[in-house]
Chains A and B, each alone.
Chain A
Amino acid sequence: MGDLKLPEINYGALSPMLILFGAACLGVLLEAVLPRGRRHGVQLTLALASLVAALAAVILTRNTRVVTIGGAVAIDGPTVFLWGSILLLGVVSMLLIGERAVEAGGAFVSQAAITVGSDKDLKQAGGQPGATEVYPLTIFSIGGMLLFVAANDLLTMFVALEVLSLPLYLLCALARRRRLLSQEAALKYFLLGSYASAFFLFGVALIYGFAGAVDLASIHAAVADPQRNEVLLFGGLALVAIGLLFKGAAAPFHVWTPDVYQGAPTPITALMAACTKVAAFGALLRILYVAFDGVRWDFQPVLGVIAILTMLIGAVLAVTQTDMKRLLAYSSIANAGYLLVGVLALNKEGLSSTMFYLVAYGFSVLAAFGIVSLVRDAEGEATHLSRWAGLGRKSPLYAGVFSFIMLAFAGIPLTSGFTSKFAVFGAAIDGGQTWLVIVGVITSMVLAFPYLRVIVMMWLSEPGESTPTVSIPGFLTSAALVIGVIVTLALGVIPAPLLDLTNDAAQFVR
């Protein structure tokens, strides 16, 4: 045993993840020792501080390019960029999660284990402070996302997938209002999510049989071998891709998205729409670009069909929706299709434009869900579309902000929606994927209809008896909204700095 060789660990490069996981463990501990009244402030401060500290660590180690812990984690340009974006989006969603001024006690239930509708439940509905476990859970989940985009072998990727998913399943079940819907969303997300990760795992097993190892470099080498076993290779790749496309909400693996987005507490929906999307597409980019680059002609048409399906289903079904959160869910499915178009360009521009799109979309969607969490009546959030009629007359400021975000989703120039769509479509044309771009442009036009319908409804209808009021946001939600809107505008007017940044970062290590 004397010659046992330990893998080298570059703690500096891993520090963002270590900070987050450390803070999450500390948060669990604090949950046990702090008196109930002080938990919210302390946990929120700890969560925000750890995200900012991790972001600072990413910025300090931004020039590190290293594969560490025995080849399990690769820190390269895309990793550092995606870490930075996940952490920034994480800070903004944490602001939404920590908001308590809009609803007494916050958006989360105080004790999730209490049976819905029982006497105790009615008692806790009256404004008892919400559970503070959500902060460590969110930090665990964001830590898992960081590991997910940096994973350099399929085992690490599987573990990271579970670390990011398991807290999300629980968070979905913690809504204060409409608890049955929330629990149902959690059940659906959990069952379908673990189904998809079982497919992912069997794919890992097949690829291990194919390549004899699970690290991406060995898989790349095995793919280049002309004597390869194609059954194991393509079977494994298909199953692994199912697991990743599920997390990214691409059709036909999208069915959970509208239900879960509608049922989950709105701040958690925002977290899923922004951060989970970055993580899922980051991992998909790494697998396709690093490991399976050698069979790009084989998977490109298949994933192209999936991209087209995703865009069509997202756009067409968004038109028929009557609930604001479901509408945003279908819009997020369509956006997953546009992201896939960028991924399938399979060139450097494809990589950089997809990363740009992820950041631009993330900030807009956070602002959109921020507004959704403010439009309320006595029952809680009023998410039915008809209730939004005439909102522009009642609260022009928030209706204006929401209209701006809708225009950004529709891809109007001078918003980030335009520049990011332009970037991914341009990259796809360079990559010879004109057929995807044609479908992309057509579905964008279809998708503009539901967005514009919302705007028309808010501004041109008379406010009715049932038009809800917009709650005055507390400091945290206001900050999240301001950041979301400023980034959406800034990336539309001056996209060059971020585009340069993504271009510099678009180089995987192998």
Chain B
Amino acid sequence: MTPDYYLVLAAILFTIGAAGVLVRRNAIVLFMCIELMLNAANLALVTFSRINGTLDGQIISFFVMVVAAAEVVIGLAIIMSIFRTRRSASVDDANLLKY
């Protein structure tokens, strides 16, 4: 089986994530879409690692997982603090800052 299919899958996952961030409203769903993009990058890294025959890609994906975990902590803290006040996680409701 050729590893190219995994690259196609990674590209599709990345596109779904990127499009999801643009069309969805809920901050948590947006956040999940961003995680999907990161995981698509991980899949691409591991596949390229297999194609290139080096281990760098696998090491990088470990780093990405750690960084993504740290990002979750910060992101959920911010979303939680907004939700407590507004009782909503919709990004359309956060509209005080404009022009």
Contact = CB atoms under 8 A, between A and B. Distances in A.
Interface of A: 112-113, 115-117, 155, 158-159, 162, 166, 169-170, 173, 180-181, 183-188, 190-191, 194-195, 198-199, 201-202, 204-206, 208-209, 212-214, 258-259, 262-263, 322, 326
B78 A115 contact: no
21 contacts: A115-B81, A162-B70, A173-B81, A180-B85, A184-B96, A187-B27, A187-B82, A188-B94, A194-B31, A195-B18, A195-B21, A198-B37, A199-B18, A201-B38, A202-B41, A204-B60, A205-B48, A213-B54, A214-B60, A259-B98, A322-B99
Contacts of B74: 166, 169-170, 190
Contacts of B59: 155
A183 B97 contact: no
Interface string B64-99: 100100110011011101101100000100111111
Interface of B: 7, 10, 14, 17-18, 21, 27, 30-31, 34, 37-38, 40-42, 44-45, 47-49, 51-52, 54, 56-57, 59-60, 63-64, 67, 70-71, 74-75, 77-79, 81-82, 84-85, 91, 94-99
B75 A194 contact: yes
Given A112-B81, A170-B77, A262 B97 contact: yes
B25 to A, nearest CB: 12
Contacts of B54: 212-213
Contacts of A206: 44
A205 B52 CA distance: 12
Nearest to A258: B97
A206 B71 CA distance: 22
Nearest to B11: A202
B4 to A, nearest CB: 11
Nearest to A317: B99
A170 B34 CA distance: 18
A202 B14 contact: yes
Closest A-B pairs by Cβ, 9 of them: A198-B37, A209-B48, A205-B44, A259-B97, A201-B41, A116-B85, A212-B52, A184-B94, A115-B84
Given A208-B56, A209-B44, A214-B56, A113 B81 contact: yes
A181 B82 CA distance: 10
A364 to B, nearest CB: 25
B97 A188 contact: yes
Nearest to A117: B85
A208 B7 CA distance: 13
Given A184-B96, A191-B27, A162 B82 contact: no
Contact of B75 (A116, A188, A190): A190
Contact of A162 (B56, B67, B94, B99): B67
Nearest to B89: A187
Nearest to B70: A166
Nearest to B71: A194
Given A115-B85, A194-B31, A202-B40, 19 more contacts: A115-B84, A155-B56, A158-B64, A159-B63, A184-B82, A185-B97, A187-B27, A187-B91, A191-B31, A194-B34, A201-B64, A202-B37, A205-B10, A206-B44, A208-B60, A209-B44, A209-B47, A212-B54, A258-B97
